[in-house]
Amino acid sequence: MDEQELVKRLRQGDKSALEAVIKLHHAFLVAMATPLVGNDLADDVAQETWLRAFAAIGKFEGRSKLRTWLARIAINEAHAMRRKTGREVSLDGWGSDTGSPIGARFNEQGAWDVPPTQWHHETPDELLTEAELYECIQKHLHKLPEDQQSVVMMRELGGLDYGEIARALNLAEGNIRVLLHRGRQRMHAMLNHFEEVGTC
Amino acid sequence: MLTCREMSELGSDIIEGDLRLSTRWAVFMHLKMCSRCTLYIKQLKLTSAVLQQLPLNTTAVDSAAILEKLQERDK
């Protein structure tokens, strides 16, 4: 079912569509809310998000992806939850640059010592349909440093812009850009390893 | 003249088209003569595209149970 069809059926209150959209995006909403409210409240934020989203699905205009629309609702719900519970989650140490994960692949002159190699897969679909690789991507996404993981989730999976992410995490946009780049570099290194060795 | 290391640091700005005009020119010139950086940037872009399409843990979510809970709360 494509997204347009899914939204159409959500507007009709189709139970199987409601279950399908929860299956598609619940884990993402929980993962995104966790750094904002902590582990124990993240699921509550996701549930509040669903209640709001199902009530307002008629207003979803399809200008962004559904996942982006849900991510925006989830961030608002997380802020509301924080105000309600008086909960402050410490993000101390977030935003500092851990340095390039591929720094050792260059020589002193800054040229490639260990250059990238050709991959067997050329498109996202090819990469994501290989079960073992899909598992490996998920595993490594969760192994990223927390701040990089959070920014990668919000930007890549959630489709939020830099300003929205910076406000949600109370960091400067410059920090968000660095964290995103480092996260992407680590995920690239993981994919590269898989392409070279054939295992996670 | 940008080095390959500097190109790798600019990777996300390159794939998002977030470069100043002067840097854009230097990147363009570097990519014209460096197949290794061209490949790295192409793969970084593919990495980003994969993440954008990534479904997350769909099997672990009991959507029927969540929906039931939501309906209980909504009553």
Can you give the three-state secondary structure of A163-184, one letter per residue?
HHHHHHHCCCHHHHHHHHHHHH
A103: which 2 tokens? 């720094």
CB contact under 8 A, B56 and A15: no
**Cα–Cα dist A67/A70, whole Å:** 5
Counted domains in chain B: 1
* Whether pLDDT at B58 is above 70: no
A174: which 2 tokens? 């410059």
- Segments forming the whole domain that contains residue B43: 4-74
* pTM reported for the whole predicted model: 0.91
Answer for the pair A70, A25: CB distance below 8 angstroms, yes or no: yes
pLDDT for A14 equals: 92
Q: Give the single-character DSSP code of A186.
A: H
Give the mean pLDDT of A110-138. 93
pLDDT for B69 equals: 84
Residue B68: give its domain's CATH number. Answer: 1.10.10
pLDDT for A172 equals: 95
Structural domains of chain A sorted by starting position, each given as residue range(s) with its CATH number in brackets: 3-85 (1.10.1740.10), 116-197 (1.10.10.10)
Say if B64 is an interface residue toward chain A (CB within 8 Å): yes
In angstroms, the separation between the Cα of residue B43 and the nearest Cα of chain A is 7
pLDDT for A87 equals: 78
**Model pLDDT for residues A171-184, shown as the tens digit of each residue:** 999 999 999 999 99
**Cα–Cα dist B48/B36, whole Å:** 18
pLDDT level of residue A112 (50, 70, 90 thresholds): very high
* Whether pLDDT at B57 is above 80: no
- ipTM comes to 0.91
A179: which 2 tokens? 């964290």
